[in-house]
Amino acid sequence: MTPPLDQSKPRFPIQNECIYLNHCGVSPLHPGAAAAARQWDETQMRSGIGVFAKLGDPTLAVRRAAAQLLGVPHDDLSFLRNTAEGLSLVANGLPLEPGDRIVSYLHEYPSNHYPWRLQATRGATLELLPDRPCGSGLPEGQPRGFELEDLERLLRAGRVRAVALSHVQFTSGFMVDLAAVGRLCREHDAWLIVDAAQSLGAVPLRPLEWGIDVIAASGWKWLLGPMGSGLLYTNPRLRAVLKCTMAGADLMEQGDDYLNHAWQPHRDGRFFEYSTANMASAAALAACIQEAQLHFGPECIATETSRLRRLLLERLDPYRFLRVQFPGPGSPILSWAVPQADRVARCATKSGVTVTQRGGYLRTAPHFYNTDDEILRAVDVLHQAVDAVQRDAE
Ligand SMILES: Cc1ncc(COP(=O)(O)O)c(C=O)c1O
Protein backbone atom coordinates (compact mmCIF):
# COMPACT_ATOMS: atom_id res chain seq x y z
CA MET A 1 0.00 0.00 0.00
CA THR A 2 1.30 3.43 -0.96
CA PRO A 3 1.79 5.75 2.04
CA PRO A 4 -0.21 9.00 2.11
CA LEU A 5 1.28 11.63 -0.16
CA ASP A 6 2.16 14.12 2.55
CA GLN A 7 4.66 11.61 3.99
CA SER A 8 6.10 10.35 0.74
CA LYS A 9 6.32 13.26 -1.67
CA PRO A 10 9.24 13.06 -4.03
CA ARG A 11 11.51 16.09 -4.27
CA PHE A 12 12.30 17.11 -7.84
CA PRO A 13 15.38 19.03 -9.12
CA ILE A 14 13.25 21.98 -10.25
CA GLN A 15 12.44 22.66 -6.60
CA ASN A 16 16.04 23.82 -6.18
CA GLU A 17 15.52 26.38 -8.96
CA CYS A 18 12.08 27.93 -8.48
CA ILE A 19 8.52 27.38 -7.30
CA TYR A 20 6.87 25.79 -10.28
CA LEU A 21 3.13 26.35 -10.68
CA ASN A 22 2.96 25.95 -14.46
CA HIS A 23 1.95 22.31 -14.88
CA CYS A 24 -0.73 23.48 -17.30
CA GLY A 25 2.09 24.73 -19.58
CA VAL A 26 5.28 22.73 -19.87
CA SER A 27 6.06 20.64 -16.79
CA PRO A 28 9.45 19.70 -15.44
CA LEU A 29 10.45 16.27 -16.70
CA HIS A 30 10.08 13.57 -14.04
CA PRO A 31 13.58 12.35 -13.01
CA GLY A 32 12.51 8.74 -13.67
CA ALA A 33 11.50 9.75 -17.20
CA ALA A 34 14.82 11.48 -17.81
CA ALA A 35 16.67 8.37 -16.55
CA ALA A 36 14.62 6.04 -18.77
CA ALA A 37 15.29 8.17 -21.86
CA ARG A 38 19.02 8.28 -21.05
CA GLN A 39 19.06 4.52 -20.52
CA TRP A 40 17.38 3.97 -23.89
CA ASP A 41 19.80 6.27 -25.71
CA GLU A 42 22.87 4.80 -24.00
CA THR A 43 21.76 1.26 -24.78
CA GLN A 44 21.01 2.09 -28.41
CA MET A 45 24.39 3.79 -28.62
CA ARG A 46 26.12 0.59 -27.46
CA SER A 47 23.84 -2.06 -28.93
CA GLY A 48 22.00 -0.67 -31.98
CA ILE A 49 18.96 -2.81 -32.67
CA GLY A 50 19.96 -4.98 -29.68
CA VAL A 51 18.36 -2.29 -27.52
CA PHE A 52 14.98 -4.00 -28.04
CA ALA A 53 16.27 -7.33 -26.71
CA LYS A 54 17.76 -5.56 -23.68
CA LEU A 55 14.98 -3.12 -22.80
CA GLY A 56 11.86 -4.45 -24.52
CA ASP A 57 9.38 -2.44 -26.60
CA PRO A 58 8.77 0.91 -24.87
CA THR A 59 5.65 1.65 -26.92
CA LEU A 60 4.06 -1.46 -25.41
CA ALA A 61 5.20 -0.34 -21.95
CA VAL A 62 3.64 3.10 -22.37
CA ARG A 63 0.40 1.69 -23.78
CA ARG A 64 0.16 -0.65 -20.77
CA ALA A 65 0.91 2.08 -18.23
CA ALA A 66 -1.54 4.56 -19.76
CA ALA A 67 -4.23 1.88 -20.04
CA GLN A 68 -3.87 1.10 -16.35
CA LEU A 69 -4.22 4.79 -15.56
CA LEU A 70 -7.44 5.01 -17.58
CA GLY A 71 -8.85 1.61 -16.57
CA VAL A 72 -9.08 0.36 -20.18
CA PRO A 73 -7.46 -2.49 -22.17
CA HIS A 74 -3.99 -1.60 -23.45
CA ASP A 75 -5.15 -2.50 -26.97
CA ASP A 76 -7.09 0.77 -26.94
CA LEU A 77 -4.03 2.97 -26.35
CA SER A 78 -1.63 4.50 -28.85
CA PHE A 79 1.64 6.32 -28.25
CA LEU A 80 1.84 9.46 -30.39
CA ARG A 81 3.62 12.80 -30.48
CA ASN A 82 1.01 15.21 -29.21
CA THR A 83 -2.69 15.94 -28.78
CA ALA A 84 -3.10 17.44 -32.23
CA GLU A 85 -1.71 14.31 -33.88
CA GLY A 86 -4.24 12.13 -32.08
CA LEU A 87 -7.15 14.44 -32.82
CA SER A 88 -6.10 14.82 -36.48
CA LEU A 89 -5.88 11.06 -36.98
CA VAL A 90 -9.38 10.70 -35.57
CA ALA A 91 -10.92 13.72 -37.30
CA ASN A 92 -9.50 12.84 -40.72
CA GLY A 93 -10.49 9.20 -40.34
CA LEU A 94 -14.11 9.73 -39.31
CA PRO A 95 -16.63 8.81 -41.98
CA LEU A 96 -18.13 12.24 -42.72
CA GLU A 97 -20.40 13.39 -45.51
CA PRO A 98 -21.43 16.82 -46.74
CA GLY A 99 -23.93 18.26 -44.28
CA ASP A 100 -22.55 16.34 -41.28
CA ARG A 101 -21.91 18.48 -38.23
CA ILE A 102 -19.16 18.60 -35.62
CA VAL A 103 -19.64 20.48 -32.36
CA SER A 104 -16.88 22.08 -30.33
CA TYR A 105 -16.48 25.21 -28.17
CA LEU A 106 -15.59 28.74 -29.24
CA HIS A 107 -12.37 29.04 -27.23
CA GLU A 108 -10.73 25.62 -27.56
CA TYR A 109 -6.95 25.24 -27.76
CA PRO A 110 -5.82 25.13 -31.45
CA SER A 111 -5.00 21.38 -31.28
CA ASN A 112 -8.70 20.73 -30.72
CA HIS A 113 -9.93 23.28 -33.24
CA TYR A 114 -8.04 23.08 -36.52
CA PRO A 115 -8.34 19.30 -37.03
CA TRP A 116 -12.12 19.81 -37.01
CA ARG A 117 -12.02 22.92 -39.21
CA LEU A 118 -10.17 20.85 -41.79
CA GLN A 119 -13.22 18.66 -42.21
CA ALA A 120 -14.85 21.49 -44.19
CA THR A 121 -12.89 20.07 -47.14
CA ARG A 122 -15.27 17.11 -46.90
CA GLY A 123 -18.35 19.34 -46.58
CA ALA A 124 -18.73 18.87 -42.81
CA THR A 125 -19.39 21.97 -40.72
CA LEU A 126 -17.83 22.88 -37.41
CA GLU A 127 -20.28 24.54 -35.02
CA LEU A 128 -18.99 26.21 -31.89
CA LEU A 129 -20.75 26.34 -28.55
CA PRO A 130 -21.01 29.96 -27.43
CA ASP A 131 -19.08 31.22 -24.45
CA ARG A 132 -21.22 31.52 -21.29
CA PRO A 133 -20.49 32.72 -17.74
CA CYS A 134 -21.35 29.23 -16.34
CA GLY A 135 -22.01 30.64 -12.89
CA SER A 136 -18.66 32.44 -12.72
CA GLY A 137 -20.14 35.93 -12.73
CA LEU A 138 -17.38 36.96 -15.16
CA PRO A 139 -18.24 39.48 -17.86
CA GLU A 140 -18.26 38.69 -21.56
CA GLY A 141 -14.94 39.09 -23.37
CA GLN A 142 -12.51 36.67 -21.80
CA PRO A 143 -13.10 32.91 -22.25
CA ARG A 144 -15.27 31.36 -19.56
CA GLY A 145 -17.06 28.07 -20.39
CA PHE A 146 -20.05 26.53 -22.13
CA GLU A 147 -23.47 25.20 -21.14
CA LEU A 148 -24.84 21.72 -21.72
CA GLU A 149 -28.19 23.24 -22.79
CA ASP A 150 -26.43 24.79 -25.79
CA LEU A 151 -24.87 21.43 -26.59
CA GLU A 152 -28.22 19.67 -26.31
CA ARG A 153 -29.86 22.24 -28.61
CA LEU A 154 -27.23 21.61 -31.30
CA LEU A 155 -27.47 17.84 -30.87
CA ARG A 156 -31.28 17.95 -31.19
CA ALA A 157 -30.99 19.69 -34.56
CA GLY A 158 -29.56 16.41 -35.94
CA ARG A 159 -26.58 15.11 -37.92
CA VAL A 160 -23.99 15.86 -35.24
CA ARG A 161 -21.39 13.13 -35.77
CA ALA A 162 -18.77 14.25 -33.25
CA VAL A 163 -18.55 16.41 -30.14
CA ALA A 164 -14.96 17.55 -29.53
CA LEU A 165 -14.33 19.27 -26.19
CA SER A 166 -11.52 19.79 -23.75
CA HIS A 167 -12.08 18.28 -20.33
CA VAL A 168 -10.47 21.39 -18.82
CA GLN A 169 -10.26 24.70 -20.68
CA PHE A 170 -6.68 25.95 -20.87
CA THR A 171 -7.64 29.57 -20.10
CA SER A 172 -10.35 29.82 -17.46
CA GLY A 173 -9.86 26.29 -16.09
CA PHE A 174 -13.55 25.51 -16.76
CA MET A 175 -13.99 21.74 -16.29
CA VAL A 176 -16.91 20.10 -18.04
CA ASP A 177 -18.95 17.24 -16.58
CA LEU A 178 -17.87 14.54 -19.03
CA ALA A 179 -20.33 11.96 -17.69
CA ALA A 180 -23.21 14.33 -18.55
CA VAL A 181 -21.74 15.11 -21.99
CA GLY A 182 -21.29 11.37 -22.56
CA ARG A 183 -24.98 10.73 -21.81
CA LEU A 184 -26.05 13.44 -24.26
CA CYS A 185 -23.73 12.11 -26.98
CA ARG A 186 -25.05 8.58 -26.58
CA GLU A 187 -28.67 9.80 -26.72
CA HIS A 188 -27.93 11.55 -30.00
CA ASP A 189 -25.57 8.97 -31.45
CA ALA A 190 -22.55 11.32 -31.62
CA TRP A 191 -18.94 10.33 -30.89
CA LEU A 192 -17.50 12.02 -27.79
CA ILE A 193 -13.93 13.13 -28.39
CA VAL A 194 -12.03 14.63 -25.45
CA ASP A 195 -8.88 16.72 -25.36
CA ALA A 196 -7.50 15.78 -21.95
CA ALA A 197 -4.20 17.66 -22.21
CA GLN A 198 -5.22 19.68 -19.14
CA SER A 199 -6.62 16.82 -17.07
CA LEU A 200 -4.85 13.50 -17.71
CA GLY A 201 -2.48 13.09 -14.80
CA ALA A 202 -4.22 15.71 -12.64
CA VAL A 203 -7.71 14.25 -12.17
CA PRO A 204 -8.99 10.69 -12.73
CA LEU A 205 -10.61 10.01 -16.11
CA ARG A 206 -13.09 7.17 -16.59
CA PRO A 207 -13.72 6.71 -20.32
CA LEU A 208 -15.74 3.50 -20.00
CA GLU A 209 -18.01 4.82 -17.26
CA TRP A 210 -18.47 8.24 -18.87
CA GLY A 211 -19.04 7.05 -22.45
CA ILE A 212 -15.96 8.72 -23.96
CA ASP A 213 -14.94 7.42 -27.38
CA VAL A 214 -11.60 9.20 -27.74
CA ILE A 215 -9.11 10.80 -25.35
CA ALA A 216 -6.10 12.65 -26.73
CA ALA A 217 -3.48 14.15 -24.42
CA SER A 218 0.03 15.55 -24.32
CA GLY A 219 2.72 13.88 -22.22
CA TRP A 220 4.52 16.97 -20.95
CA LYS A 221 1.90 18.61 -18.78
CA TRP A 222 0.29 16.79 -15.88
CA LEU A 223 2.00 13.49 -16.69
CA LEU A 224 5.46 15.11 -16.26
CA GLY A 225 6.70 13.44 -19.43
CA PRO A 226 8.87 14.47 -22.37
CA MET A 227 7.89 17.17 -24.84
CA GLY A 228 6.71 15.72 -28.13
CA SER A 229 5.05 12.70 -26.51
CA GLY A 230 1.32 12.09 -26.51
CA LEU A 231 -1.36 9.50 -25.90
CA LEU A 232 -4.52 8.50 -27.68
CA TYR A 233 -7.29 6.32 -26.29
CA THR A 234 -9.90 5.07 -28.78
CA ASN A 235 -12.73 2.70 -28.22
CA PRO A 236 -12.85 -0.33 -30.57
CA ARG A 237 -16.32 0.57 -31.90
CA LEU A 238 -14.94 3.86 -33.21
CA ARG A 239 -11.74 2.31 -34.60
CA ALA A 240 -13.85 -0.15 -36.59
CA VAL A 241 -15.34 2.68 -38.67
CA LEU A 242 -12.29 4.97 -38.95
CA LYS A 243 -10.50 5.16 -42.23
CA CYS A 244 -6.73 5.06 -42.30
CA THR A 245 -5.10 8.42 -43.07
CA MET A 246 -1.44 7.77 -42.16
CA ALA A 247 0.36 4.60 -43.17
CA GLY A 248 3.81 3.05 -42.80
CA ALA A 249 5.52 -0.21 -41.88
CA ASP A 250 4.31 -0.23 -38.28
CA LEU A 251 0.68 -0.07 -39.34
CA MET A 252 0.72 -3.59 -40.71
CA GLU A 253 0.22 -6.95 -38.98
CA GLN A 254 3.09 -8.51 -40.96
CA GLY A 255 5.58 -6.36 -39.01
CA ASP A 256 9.13 -6.54 -40.37
CA ASP A 257 8.21 -8.78 -43.31
CA TYR A 258 8.73 -5.58 -45.29
CA LEU A 259 8.37 -6.99 -48.80
CA ASN A 260 4.95 -8.36 -47.97
CA HIS A 261 2.73 -5.43 -48.96
CA ALA A 262 -0.56 -7.07 -48.03
CA TRP A 263 -3.02 -4.52 -46.64
CA GLN A 264 -3.42 -5.87 -43.10
CA PRO A 265 -3.54 -2.93 -40.70
CA HIS A 266 -3.50 -3.48 -36.96
CA ARG A 267 -6.96 -2.93 -35.58
CA ASP A 268 -5.87 -2.14 -32.03
CA GLY A 269 -4.23 1.11 -30.89
CA ARG A 270 -1.29 0.43 -33.21
CA PHE A 271 -3.64 1.49 -36.03
CA PHE A 272 -2.46 5.04 -35.26
CA GLU A 273 1.25 4.26 -34.67
CA TYR A 274 1.92 4.18 -38.37
CA SER A 275 5.75 4.22 -38.34
CA THR A 276 8.87 4.30 -36.17
CA ALA A 277 8.23 6.09 -32.87
CA ASN A 278 10.57 8.11 -30.68
CA MET A 279 11.47 5.15 -28.43
CA ALA A 280 13.43 7.15 -25.83
CA SER A 281 10.37 9.32 -25.42
CA ALA A 282 8.07 6.28 -25.10
CA ALA A 283 10.37 4.80 -22.45
CA ALA A 284 10.35 8.12 -20.60
CA LEU A 285 6.58 8.51 -20.68
CA ALA A 286 6.08 4.92 -19.51
CA ALA A 287 8.49 5.55 -16.61
CA CYS A 288 6.81 8.69 -15.34
CA ILE A 289 3.32 7.20 -15.58
CA GLN A 290 4.54 4.22 -13.56
CA GLU A 291 6.61 6.15 -11.03
CA ALA A 292 4.26 9.05 -10.39
CA GLN A 293 0.70 8.31 -11.54
CA LEU A 294 0.51 4.57 -10.86
CA HIS A 295 2.75 4.69 -7.81
CA PHE A 296 0.68 7.30 -5.94
CA GLY A 297 -2.64 6.68 -7.71
CA PRO A 298 -4.67 9.25 -9.68
CA GLU A 299 -7.15 9.75 -6.82
CA CYS A 300 -4.38 10.55 -4.31
CA ILE A 301 -2.76 12.93 -6.79
CA ALA A 302 -6.07 14.69 -7.44
CA THR A 303 -6.76 15.02 -3.70
CA GLU A 304 -3.32 16.46 -3.05
CA THR A 305 -3.41 18.96 -5.92
CA SER A 306 -6.85 20.06 -4.80
CA ARG A 307 -5.54 20.60 -1.23
CA LEU A 308 -2.67 22.72 -2.56
CA ARG A 309 -5.07 24.82 -4.65
CA ARG A 310 -7.24 25.34 -1.58
CA LEU A 311 -4.21 26.62 0.30
CA LEU A 312 -3.54 29.12 -2.50
CA LEU A 313 -7.17 30.17 -2.40
CA GLU A 314 -7.17 30.71 1.34
CA ARG A 315 -4.00 32.78 1.27
CA LEU A 316 -4.19 34.93 -1.87
CA ASP A 317 -5.73 38.32 -1.17
CA PRO A 318 -9.22 38.28 -2.78
CA TYR A 319 -9.01 42.03 -3.44
CA ARG A 320 -5.91 41.65 -5.57
CA PHE A 321 -6.74 38.21 -7.02
CA LEU A 322 -10.29 37.62 -8.23
CA ARG A 323 -10.75 33.88 -8.45
CA VAL A 324 -12.28 32.45 -11.62
CA GLN A 325 -14.75 30.08 -10.02
CA PHE A 326 -17.25 27.66 -11.52
CA PRO A 327 -19.66 25.43 -9.61
CA GLY A 328 -18.68 21.76 -9.47
CA PRO A 329 -15.49 19.89 -8.67
CA GLY A 330 -12.19 21.76 -8.68
CA SER A 331 -10.28 22.06 -11.91
CA PRO A 332 -6.51 21.46 -12.00
CA ILE A 333 -6.06 25.03 -13.30
CA LEU A 334 -6.87 27.75 -10.82
CA SER A 335 -7.22 30.95 -12.87
CA TRP A 336 -7.41 34.50 -11.60
CA ALA A 337 -8.83 37.67 -13.11
CA VAL A 338 -5.97 40.09 -12.48
CA PRO A 339 -5.36 43.37 -14.34
CA GLN A 340 -2.36 43.03 -16.67
CA ALA A 341 -2.10 39.32 -15.96
CA ASP A 342 0.67 38.91 -18.51
CA ARG A 343 2.93 41.40 -16.76
CA VAL A 344 2.10 39.95 -13.34
CA ALA A 345 2.98 36.45 -14.60
CA ARG A 346 6.30 37.67 -16.01
CA CYS A 347 7.14 39.56 -12.83
CA ALA A 348 6.32 36.57 -10.58
CA THR A 349 8.31 34.23 -12.81
CA LYS A 350 11.31 36.56 -12.63
CA SER A 351 11.02 36.48 -8.84
CA GLY A 352 11.09 32.69 -8.73
CA VAL A 353 7.43 31.62 -9.05
CA THR A 354 6.71 30.24 -12.51
CA VAL A 355 3.15 31.01 -13.60
CA THR A 356 1.62 31.86 -16.97
CA GLN A 357 -1.10 33.98 -18.53
CA ARG A 358 -3.59 32.65 -21.06
CA GLY A 359 -6.77 34.28 -22.31
CA GLY A 360 -6.06 37.25 -20.05
CA TYR A 361 -6.06 35.16 -16.86
CA LEU A 362 -3.20 34.44 -14.52
CA ARG A 363 -3.05 30.64 -14.24
CA THR A 364 -1.78 28.81 -11.17
CA ALA A 365 -1.40 25.05 -11.49
CA PRO A 366 0.37 23.27 -8.62
CA HIS A 367 1.11 19.53 -8.90
CA PHE A 368 1.20 16.86 -6.19
CA TYR A 369 4.90 17.26 -5.37
CA ASN A 370 4.65 20.99 -4.57
CA THR A 371 4.95 21.63 -0.85
CA ASP A 372 2.86 23.80 1.47
CA ASP A 373 5.93 25.92 2.06
CA GLU A 374 6.25 26.54 -1.69
CA ILE A 375 2.62 27.60 -1.90
CA LEU A 376 2.99 30.03 1.00
CA ARG A 377 6.14 31.54 -0.50
CA ALA A 378 4.40 31.76 -3.89
CA VAL A 379 1.56 33.73 -2.31
CA ASP A 380 4.00 36.40 -1.08
CA VAL A 381 5.68 36.64 -4.49
CA LEU A 382 2.33 36.88 -6.30
CA HIS A 383 1.16 39.68 -3.99
CA GLN A 384 4.40 41.55 -4.59
CA ALA A 385 4.11 41.03 -8.36
CA VAL A 386 0.59 42.49 -8.48
CA ASP A 387 1.66 45.47 -6.39
CA ALA A 388 4.75 46.10 -8.51
CA VAL A 389 2.77 46.01 -11.77
CA GLN A 390 0.15 48.33 -10.30
CA ARG A 391 2.82 50.78 -9.08
CA ASP A 392 4.36 50.82 -12.57
CA ALA A 393 0.97 51.61 -14.10
CA GLU A 394 0.41 54.62 -11.81
C1 LIG B 1 -6.41 22.03 -23.97
C2 LIG B 1 -5.08 21.77 -24.60
N3 LIG B 1 -4.98 20.86 -25.57
C4 LIG B 1 -3.82 20.56 -26.16
C5 LIG B 1 -2.66 21.20 -25.78
C6 LIG B 1 -1.36 20.86 -26.42
O7 LIG B 1 -1.55 20.36 -27.71
P8 LIG B 1 -0.39 19.59 -28.46
O9 LIG B 1 -0.15 18.33 -27.66
O10 LIG B 1 -0.98 19.30 -29.78
O11 LIG B 1 0.79 20.49 -28.50
C12 LIG B 1 -2.72 22.19 -24.81
C13 LIG B 1 -1.49 22.94 -24.44
O14 LIG B 1 -1.50 23.92 -23.78
C15 LIG B 1 -3.95 22.46 -24.19
O16 LIG B 1 -4.04 23.37 -23.22
Per residue in 234-276, pLDDT (tens digit) is 999 999 999 999 999 999 999 999 999 999 999 999 999 999 9
pLDDT of residue 328: 85
pLDDT of residue 339: 94
Query: Residue 334 corresponds to which amino acid?
Result: L
Domain assignment present for 27: no
Beta bridge partners of 354: 20
Q: Which residue among 23, 27, 83 is best mutated to probe the pocket of ligand 1, counting the most ligand atoms within 8 A of its Cβ?
A: 83
- How much is the pTM? 0.97
DSSP β-ladder status, 334-337 and 361-364? antiparallel
pLDDT of residue 3: 57
With b for 16 or more beta-carbon neighbours within 10 A and e for fewer, the 163-184 pattern comes to bbbbbbbbbbbbbbebeebbeb
pLDDT of residue 125: 97
Question: Given 294, 316, 331, which residue is the final one in a domain?
Answer: 294
Q: Is 153 exposed, middle or buried (0-12, 13-18, 19+ CB in 10 A)?
A: exposed
pLDDT of residue 272: 98
Task: Determine the Cα–Cα distance for residues 232 and 270; give it in Å rounded to an integer.
Answer: 10
pLDDT of residue 243: 97
pLDDT of residue 394: 82
Q: Which residue among 81, 107, 111, 222 is best mutated to probe the pocket of ligand 1, counting the most ligand atoms within 8 A of its Cβ?
A: 111
Tell me, in angstroms, the distance from the centre of ligand 1 to residue 188's CA: 28
| Atom 3 of ligand 1, nearest CA residue | 197
Nearest alpha-carbon partner for 326 in 211, 197, 169: 169
C-alpha triplet 329, 331, 332: angle, nearest 5°: 140
Q: Which domain holds residue 307?
A: 5-21+298-393
- Which residues does a 6 A CB cutoff place in the pocket of ligand 1? 82-84, 109, 111-112, 166, 170, 195, 197-198, 218, 230
Residues of the chain with pLDDT under 70: 1-4
CATH of the domain at 284: 3.40.640.10
Domain count, the chain: 2
Task: Determine the Cα–Cα distance for residues 275 and 238; give it in Å rounded to an integer.
Answer: 21
Tell me, in angstroms, the distance from the centre of ligand 1 to residue 29's CA: 17
Question: Given 294, 327, 345, which residue is the final one in a domain?
Answer: 294
